[in-house]
Amino acid sequence: MKTLRERMADNGFESNIDYAHHVECVLAQAGGVIPTLNVEGDSGRRKTAFANALAAALEVPHVLYHDFTQAQDPAPTAQPASNPEEEGREEPPIPAFDREVSSACAYSEGERTILILDQLQAADFREHLRLYRFVVDREWSMGGSSFVASPERLMLLLISEEPIYHSLKKVGFTVWVPRASVGEADYRPEDFGLGPEAEGLLAGLGELFRALGVQPTPSEFRRLLDDIRNRVRTREELTHSIFGWTEGIDHTLLVSDAIQQRMERLMPELWEFVGSEHVELSGVPPDPE
């Protein structure tokens, strides 16, 4: 069975971090509150990609989404009243935000549901207060109606580019989604079906990426290795391939003298690896026609 990290990668979000622990912590929240995950991280839409991939990886039947930066629903055009006595009694349209929350409550009565609220920094502070009360009381009120959510089947994902209301943050679990891939250990040759001939190259690349402050995901690193095997022969070409395949690379840092000197010292390991690859491949008989 695939891990959560693998399932999220299948849904467009590849990371060296396995977020299974974070999800377990969220779902284990005590006190009957609605499980809430505060998604923080570097600016950009990677947090949105994370939230949608997580919802898909968890195979939740109902996923609802609201972005506070999107234009609100247009006001309805005036319609003549069918009955003169009813003139002026038209109900105002339900805001999209209220509509998504009330729908999430309804779905959670019978099936697992995730509600993603994106760009929360654009919401009025009063909406932060309403959300806090909703998480704690599990009841959403609008107009003269109220909707009750099931904390066993509903999960909230809150995304904001700025700090959210303190009490709302404290009642949930916070996860950090970095702009670039990070990792705690270098890749090993066996991770990519390579032998001891690749040890020097992978160790050098590990040092290089630590200096750059990122670590490629497995698919990014696999593409880089393919370039190194077949196309990279100079420091400049290695620079282009690293930037071309690795998300979150600081280009200014990559082309700095300090990093370029590191890459120059790495080139003998690269040439040795390429040479050993060519020797190995030359000993393989051609495929039969």
Asked whether the whole model's pTM tops 0.85, one would answer: no
pLDDT score, position 277: 61
Q: For residue 37, what is the enclosing H or E element? A: strand 36-41
How far is 186 from 215, CA to CA, in rounded Å?
8
pLDDT score, position 38: 96
Q: Could you give the angle at the alpha carbon of 17 between the alpha carbons of 41 and 180, nearest 5°?
A: 45
**pLDDT above 60 (res 287):** no
**pLDDT above 70 (res 219):** yes
What is the percent of the chain where pLDDT is above 90?
70
Q: Which residues pair with 234 in a beta bridge?
A: none
pLDDT, tens digit, for every residue of 152-210?
A: 999 999 999 999 999 999 999 999 998 776 665 678 999 899 999 999 999 999 999 99
**pLDDT above 70 (res 234):** yes
Q: Are 212 and 260 in contact (CB under 8 A)?
A: no
pLDDT score, position 233: 92
Task: Go through 225-237 and write b for each residue having 16 or more CB atoms within 10 A of its CB, e for each that does not.
Answer: bebbeeebeebee
What average pLDDT score do residues 2-25 get?
A: 92
What is the percent of the chain where pLDDT is above 70?
86
How far is 99 from 107, CA to CA, in rounded Å?
12
Q: Are 66 and 117 in contact (CB under 8 A)?
A: yes
Task: Go through 63-99 and write b for each residue having 16 or more CB atoms within 10 A of its CB, e for each that does not.
Answer: bbebbbeeeeeeeeeeeeeeeeeeeeeeeeeeeebbe
Q: Quick check: helix, strand or coil at residue 109?
A: coil
CA distances from residue 118 to 78, 106, 164, 194, 254 in whole angstroms, order as listed = 31, 20, 12, 42, 32
What average pLDDT score do residues 140-147 get?
A: 89
284 confidence band (pLDDT: 50, 70, 90): very low
What average pLDDT score do residues 250-259 get?
A: 96
What average pLDDT score do residues 48-60 get?
A: 96
Mean pLDDT over all residues of the chain?
87
282 confidence band (pLDDT: 50, 70, 90): very low
Which range is least confidently modeled, 89-98, 242-251, 262-271? 89-98
What average pLDDT score do residues 265-282 get?
A: 77
pLDDT score, position 84: 52
